[in-house]
Structure 1
Amino acid sequence: MRIGELARRTGVSERMLRYYEHEGLLNPKRTDSGYRDYGPEEVDAAHRIRVLSAAGLKIRSIRLLLPCVLGIKPVFHPCAQARAALQHEVEKLDVKLRDLGESRRVVASLLNAINVNEALQLDVR
């Protein structure tokens, strides 16, 4: 199948499919005239890449994990590199969550200060 059909089947844009190929995540065959010719393996791989990407993983991690993921819903089979890569991703997410929590506290305290100030102004009137 051509790239447009793969995009329709997987919900991944043609641009992203080309990028995944450039990054070595997809390896379609080529026709005699040079067109990409995607098969069932690429459909499955594109679905797996989409799931991993939606989880927030970057290309470097996806490249390590892709051979370890089976099917559209992530089911892992034993891969030595999977544990270390996933542990690293969990640690990065923990840092992001901590940072987001602090950002939320700051924004909430500013909102609270505005609310208190408005209430004080109403009491003065």
Structure 2
Amino acid sequence: MEFLSKIVRVHIPDYLNSVPVPDSFGGFLDLTAGQWLHLFAFSGTVAAAVYMSVKPYLDKKDQKDQLVNLRIQKESSKVVNMVDIEDLGNKVCYCRCWRSKKFPLCDGSHAKHNEDTGDNVGPLVLKRKDV
């Protein structure tokens, strides 16, 4: 723990004090090539750290774990299922979790999905109204 304490209390402040940040804009003109290099290295490191911290929030589309549909009709650009309303019968349940092996019909896979992810998705239930 002493090692970490020394880094935080001694080395980091010493390094930050060594970064050549001028007091005014005119001071940038007086920097040497070595000081510019030091300043660019420090700035690049800070920029990279900020970028890596923010990147997960900016690129959610690129993250595989953000996909809803993991396996159904992946060769299609869009999954569309058409159902004739006359063929529905008295009650039908449609999958909304995209995990059903009988997709687009629900097979109860949402229960495991909800347990694994903490989600609360359930089926779309269509029921014929008694007249």
Please report the TM-score for the alignment, with normalisation by the length of structure 1.
Answer: 0.30
Please identify which structure carries the higher helix content: 1
Larger Rg: 2
